Amino acid sequence: MTKVIKEKIESNNINGLFEIKLDTFKDFRGEIWTIHSKEHTDLNFVADKVTISNFGVLRGFHGDPYTAKLITCLSGRFQLSVVDLRKDSETYGNSETYVVSDRDPSVIIVPKGCVNAHLCLSDRCVFYYKWSEEYKGPEHQVTVAWDDPKINVCWPIQNPILSDRDKNGTPYEGIYL
């Protein structure tokens, strides 16, 4: 069997959050890697989604109590930040940040009950994610303020491009998923 994982790194800040560095095969034609296999996680995913963003677009923090996600970058580069909002979690309120790119392939496994946001750092980025539950719409998710000072995420852009939903996000304190 071909190796698909170089390294699996568990977050020190959020229980159940993992970064998986992918093993890649490269030759004169390009490269290939495996985004998801049973080696990555035993989660069952039911939907695949893609968002394509331009430089400076920030999406999130969004999430719900039911959906775990597997996230990777198919093209470009983005900053991904995750916040634990699980009610009984020892790591409630903690955050973790990654830079994910197609140049150094990895996947991030986000547990259900955590919210995530990403900021496009390249001219264009393709954010690919697998969902463990079908998307039911924004009315079934929470939207936490991307710039909540208590989360303390260091975004490298002062004035990102935001949707109305993200402009109106609320502080995370008191939100339990």
The answer to whether residues 170 and 84 touch, using CB atoms and an 8 Å cutoff, is no
Q: What residue has token string 């710039």?
A: 147
- Among 40, 62, 135, 172, the active-site one is 62
Nearest-angstrom CA–CA distance, 119 and 148: 15
How many CB atoms are located within 10 Å of the residue 108 CB? Answer: 23
The distance in angstroms from the start CA to the end CA of the chain is: 38
Strand partners, 22: 5
129 is catalytic: yes
Amino acid in position 76: G
Amino acid in position 52: I
- Among 92, 128, 129, 172, the active-site one is 129
98 is catalytic: no
Amino acid in position 173: E
The residues annotated as belonging to the active site are 62, 129
